[in-house]
Amino acid sequence: MSQLFAVIGNPIEHSRSPLIHQQFARQMGIDLVYEKLWAPIDGFEAAVREFMERGGAGMNVTVPFKLEAFDLADEHSPRAKRALAANTLVFPQEAGGPIRADNTDGIGLVNDLAFHGVEITGRRLLILGAGGATRGVLEPLLERTPSALTIANRNPERAYGLVEEFADVAGDCLLSGCPLAAIEATPFDLIINATPASLARQLPPLPDEIIGPETTAYDMAYSAEPTVFMEWAASRGASPHDGLGMLVEQAAESFLLWHGRRPDTAPVRLALREAIARTEQRQD
Ligand code: NDP
């Protein structure tokens, strides 16, 4: 019998997770059903329990339920504990067993950067945004020992909070926070846009001096066309990437948790890129 999985969120219609997991499953010869599950804002737990009663084996969790998913679980991986948020749930196969929570967003980003050949060790990093995504990626980035990591946020208090919280894993890395307007005006090696601004076709107000031809500019958002952040980076000679690969890589880590095997992400990146181009053409 097919195993049952889902991605839960609100909204959820746009999610590409079913396509990704179905491609992984085909590659591995695994029989599974992967659904999109919409839950009302105040109905996350009820939707999860109902899914478990239907025999659900695992679930991906997206906006806005990652914190609730963490709270609902009985056991948490160290990286979920760090993020205080979960994007992956593993359900017990026997009644009364624990619900386990993990967070694969951070390793997804790090694996995608490695895929693109982007160095982290010894480099100067800038992260724009201090929300859930930044929280999820900070530890895996710091573990790769950048020389400096600056978190710049619209509300600087949130950036300062993260600096304090992650000081224990910063090691020799110079970890600091600042408002967007006060970013040090010299080119960074890697700038990660962890704000949703690109989804609204907005560019955070950034000094031009922070980017140069040696900079890699990574937008966690993705679309068929380059995002405004990627266009801004490319116009200054930097190398831009979007977050499509991060999405596929975090999914591969969830797949590994559920099935014990890690799929090859390269063909799925291509398939997803094509699927997005087809959908966005239809929407034009
Ligand atoms: P949150 O809502 O938790 O945090 C958003 C952050 O962005 C906040 O720090 C907020 O600042 C800042 N921000 C929001 N809008 C703007 C703007 N217009 N200009 C400048 N700053 C802004 O979101 P998440 O951290 O969960 O997600 C961030 C992005 O990352 C989303 O686009 C999400 O889709 C993407 N993502 C992609 C993944 C992938 O696999 N590719 C995985 C996870 C996330 P303030 O604190 O001042 O409000």
For residue range 192-249, list pLDDT tens digits in order: 999 999 999 999 999 999 999 999 999 999 999 999 999 999 999 999 999 999 999 9
Question: What is the percent of the chain where pLDDT is above 90?
Answer: 95
Give the position of tokens 């590994």.
Answer: 256
Distances (CA, A) of 63 to 10, 12, 32, 70, 197: 6, 9, 24, 13, 15
Q: Determine the pLDDT at residue 281.
A: 59
Residue 154 beta carbon below 6 angstroms from any ligand 1 atom: yes
State the distance from the centre of ligand 1 to the C-alpha of 203, rounded, in angstroms: 12
283 pLDDT above the threshold of 50: no
Residue 170, sorted as left (phi over 0), alpha (psi -120 to 50) or beta, turns out to be alpha
For residue range 5-31, list pLDDT tens digits in order: 999 999 999 999 999 999 999 999 999
> How many angstroms separate the CA atoms of 224 and 140, rounded?
28
Give, for ligand 1, the residue of 195, 220, 276 to mutate: max count of ligand atoms closer than 8 Å to Cβ.
Answer: 195
Closest protein CA for atom 19 of ligand 1: 204
139 pLDDT above the threshold of 60: yes
State the distance from the centre of ligand 1 to the C-alpha of 50, rounded, in angstroms: 30
Residue 194 beta carbon below 6 angstroms from any ligand 1 atom: yes
> How many angstroms separate the CA atoms of 196 and 217, rounded?
15
Active site residues: 66
Residue 104 beta carbon below 6 angstroms from any ligand 1 atom: no
Residue 196 beta carbon below 6 angstroms from any ligand 1 atom: yes
pTM summary value: 0.95
Taking Cα atoms as reference points, which of 177, 169, 95 lies closest to residue 139? 169
